[in-house]
Structure 1
Amino acid sequence: MRPLFVLIKCEMGRAYETAREAVDRIEEVSEIYSISGQYDLLGKFYLAPDQDPGLFVTETVQRLPGVKDTFTLITFNAFSGTGAAR
């Protein structure tokens, strides 16, 4: 499984509703955080190695009610307290 982070901009007043929909509907979700700044939510998802991140974002995340815009961050390595990549 590989992590994918998606910043989500929501329609005014719909961030919490969108977050609830994401955790209820999307099996790949790990966490959804409410955040400040240009985006309202930060989603962490785990995709299977053969899963297309572009299709996942456009067909799953962007179709959630209340989503206006997304910005996707694809990760390369994860570092833990030991400093080693996993």
Structure 2
Amino acid sequence: MNCVFVQLRCRPGKAYEVADRVYEREIASELYSTSGDYDLLMKLYIPSDEDVGKYINDHILDIEGISRSLTTLTFKAF
């Protein structure tokens, strides 16, 4: 499994709706509301045989209300 963090910027007034859609899909191990440039932060575990970009595109970025995302790949846990 590949651990990645995805930050989502939502259209004004849509952060809670986007969070609900992410939660319903049961793909995030953790999901937080955040301050700053992005509205939501999620931790995902993507199967090793999946392409990370395609997985995120197919499972997250089709949610209505998302205007931008930022993905951070992880390499080693300390």
TM-score by length of 2: 0.93
Count residues in correspondence: 78
- Find the aligned partners of 1:56 and 1:43 in 2 and give their Cα distance: 14
- Find the aligned partners of 2:37 and 2:68 in 1 and give their Cα distance: 10
1:73 and 2:52 correspond: no
Matched to 1:7, the amino acid is: Q
Higher relative contact order (CA 8 A, sep 6+): 2
C-alpha root-mean-square deviation of aligned residues, in Å?
1.0
Q: Percent identity?
A: 41
SS of match in other structure, 1:4 = strand
Give structure 1 regions of 4+ aligned residues with deviation exceeding 3 angstroms: none
Q: Which runs of 5+ in 2 are unaligned?
A: none
Q: Which runs of 5+ in 1 are unaligned?
A: 80-86
- Larger radius of gyration between Structure 1 and Structure 2: 1
- Find the aligned partners of 2:76 and 2:23 in 1 and give their Cα distance: 25
